[in-house]
Copies of this chain bind each other. A is one copy, B any other.
């Protein structure tokens, strides 16, 4: 067979033929080496090549050498699609998150990707925008591509997934029947309240995130409980997580409760909005007003004063979820393991110094 050598990124490939149009390449004519090419190059059967490829079954040492040489010579890469068709498996993982544009999720996505990258998997990401329809859509697409597992941050009731035969792990969400990883929201909420109390706030505004988000409610409830135990005065204010909505809420906050001397924000985005509004109104931070956020998104370190916040280990959460999913994939059984990662207080500039 006549092979044409083409060089991609310094790696050599061999094609049976290439058609180049004057204005560029054309699409459908590629023919990278197949297993048959390797077989004939090495003078063996495809079965043998397959054996050396997968390292299973007997194959003579010399034959193996020959095949490996042929593989190298042709720069042969097995076609994942064909493999996938046969096995009903692929080297693909599906990840659905609400919105990669929300600064909490890139770190998570990176954690997932970095872990699986190491294991030879690749991940397809879908943004659900918290819409069930989009999520279903992605799950179906994933399934059609034979993904080996799915990590989801669905907030929906997904108990019905039980019929789906692909391992699923939930990230930052919990459902009884599914393995999951999340951060300890309760400890976080409690800690936030404790810090503010300890450091001298006596009139605290507790901001409550969206009702449909379990995480938001957990941290809220824990903080609420803690405040309730104290002698401090406090009030509760609802807010959405978007920056713009939060900015509105912040205005409202300072209008209604001008004497607030401590704010527990629903998350960092909200905290940033509150901080901005507070600064605009000339509040002294942290002396006149303490603010504590939640999440520790990259932005928190970047504002001035830097935001004191409850750190959720987003990257690690992604990693752990990935690790757990891999376990499920190997065991071929849903482990129902629930991993709760611990949070930590990041003592930055919007809270007073210890003992203050």
Contacts and interface: CB of A to CB of B under 8 A. Distances in A.
Interface of A: 6-11, 13, 18, 21, 23-30, 32, 77-82, 84-85, 88-92, 99-101, 103, 106-107, 109-110, 113, 122-127, 132, 136, 138-141, 143-146, 158, 160-167, 177, 243, 272-273, 275-276, 279-280, 298-299, 301-304, 306, 329, 332-336
A32 B335 CA distance: 23
Contacts of A124: 122-125
A9 B139 contact: yes
7 contacts: A24-B334, A80-B145, A81-B144, A124-B125, A279-B304, A298-B299, A302-B303
A37 B17 CA distance: 38
A95 to B, nearest CB: 9
Given A7-B163, A9-B139, A163-B6, A26 B144 contact: no
B85 A161 contact: no
A43 to B, nearest CB: 26
Nearest to A140: B77
Contact of A165 (B18, B23, B165): B18
Contacts of A27: 165-167, 329, 332-333
A123 B9 CA distance: 22
Nearest to A94: B122
A30 B88 contact: yes
A334 B20 CA distance: 10
A237 B18 CA distance: 49
A311 B242 CA distance: 21
Given A80-B145, A110-B100, A144-B79, A9 B136 contact: yes
Given A30-B88, A30-B166, A122-B145, 19 more contacts: A9-B136, A9-B158, A13-B163, A18-B165, A26-B165, A26-B332, A77-B143, A78-B144, A91-B141, A101-B110, A103-B298, A122-B138, A123-B125, A243-B298, A276-B303, A276-B304, A280-B304, A299-B299, A302-B303
B89 A85 contact: no
A90 B136 CA distance: 20
Given A25-B162, A107-B101, A165-B27, A9 B132 contact: yes
A276 B349 CA distance: 12
As for how many copies of this chain the complex holds, the number is: 2
A321 to B, nearest CB: 16
Contacts of A24: 177, 333-336
A109 to B, nearest CB: 6
Contacts of A81: 81, 84-85, 90, 144-146
A151 to B, nearest CB: 14
Contact of A113 (B13, B80, B127, B335): B127
Contacts of A333: 21, 23-27
Given A25-B334, A27-B167, A166-B27, A101 B90 contact: no
Nearest to A334: B24
A1 B231 CA distance: 70
A270 to B, nearest CB: 11
A164 B8 contact: yes
Contacts of A132: 9
B100 A106 contact: yes
Nearest to A122: B141
A162 B280 CA distance: 54
A122 B126 contact: yes
